[in-house]
Structure 1
Amino acid sequence: MGPLQHLTRLKRLHLSQTQASGKLGNLQGLTKLSELHLSHTQISGDLGPLRRLRKLQHLDVSDSPVGGELSALVNLTGLATADLSHTRITGWFSANIWKGCCQHLRTLNLVASRAGGELPKVFFPLEVSETQPFLGSLQELDVSGCELRGTVTDFMLALAATPLVKVRARACGLRGAMPCLENLPATLIFNETRNETRPSWDATLLGTLQAMDLSENNLTRLEELPAASQVRLQRSPGSVFRSCIFG
């Protein structure tokens, strides 16, 4: 990896499925990179130094020993896709850190990474700006196999303001009832022109969600079957279906 640090005009780097090794930090000077593909390599180190790659649009470090905090992505203003699956990445979404950041991020894959942990109990009210929404382009999120210590409601609250189309959270340890999305707490929207904050009870997720997979979690009740074209709840306790009434 050492010699690569001098290729400062490089725009695309594809080393996936190779014997490449070294430290991720050696690439922090390649500030013109728009694509970085390092999956299935032995490249290691912290994700943090990549904060300097402001032109990066596509990042794939899946199936590698890369670690660090998920929040390292917030400075990558042009990022559209990120595959961090099967890595040592840790952390979770924090409203204060993530709002207004990564506004072009469409796809985030965290499968079987170390992301997650204890989900915040009080994520809302989330105050966001009309010009700086919370993950305003995120369409696909996969956290299957991550350890999420919290309830399904905790998980959905963190995503309610996003335009997600597909959500996969298979075998994450989530528990409790699947909430009615219409009853999620309000988001506080700040209007810069009027200099006022107003509550919005319309979860963006309610109008965009098309597919959701919560299989192999400890769901106990469905308050409402989400209006998505595909809903997977396999290997959940039988009580989840006994407590759901289909009208």
Structure 2
Amino acid sequence: GKAPFQAVLTNGFVVDVDGKKMSKSRGKPPALMELVEKYGADVVRLWVASEDAKEDVPFSTEIFGRVGDSYRLIRNSLRILLGNLSGFDPKKDAVQERETLDQYILAKMAELVKTVREAYESYNFPAVYHALNRFCSVELSAFYVDACKDRIYCDSEGSPKRRSAQTTMFEILDGLVKLVAPVLAFTAEEAWQSMPGGKSTSVHLEKFPEAVMPAQWSDSEAARWEKLLAARGKVNEALEEQRKLKK
């Protein structure tokens, strides 16, 4: 017979947060299906991916709580992108010219694709976990999606600026769903089938995205954005200090 796989990755023992073996007296970890029923299969898969397979795997309800937060962050990012694509048909409404903010996030997406692909190829699943988590929390939720609100909610439906944002969000969503699919198998498929334009096949039959920088992006533009974001960080710090003083 032939093995139904090309490679196998195994991890160490499941231990408590102190690195000690779990037993009846110290508290055995729940059975796998108990975890699936309580947290969901994708959260369990994300927990496994978040831990270094070369080491023993720590288990606690607190760890699962943190992984659950990360899962909800990624899922909410997909949900927000889908919501912002309401009324968008990629075959008719996609545009080539992009606003500079859209070019910035596409450049960050290309960096993410490169990082995640390399991590998958080397079985470095924790690197996948952290890269996806950071992109969704820092680049998407805390910055890009927030900065696009005026274009998405205030501009006319077919305005060039709004279409630029929607085209960009569609491309990010398309790539992001494919990147999370090996770990968040069910969530990725759900998002994939909900994407505008119609999907005739499963996301698990798709090829991984390529790390391609936007055509209009340049080193000088990247340097300019670094300065802008550094200034933005200083302003946010000052605003936060003022908010604390008012309390």
TM-score, scaled to structure 2: 0.26
**Whose relative contact order is higher, 1 or 2, with alpha carbons under 8 Å and at least 6 apart?**
2
TM-score, scaled to structure 1: 0.26
- Point out the structure with the larger strand share: 1
Give the structure with higher Rg (CA). 2
- Point out the structure with the larger helix share: 2
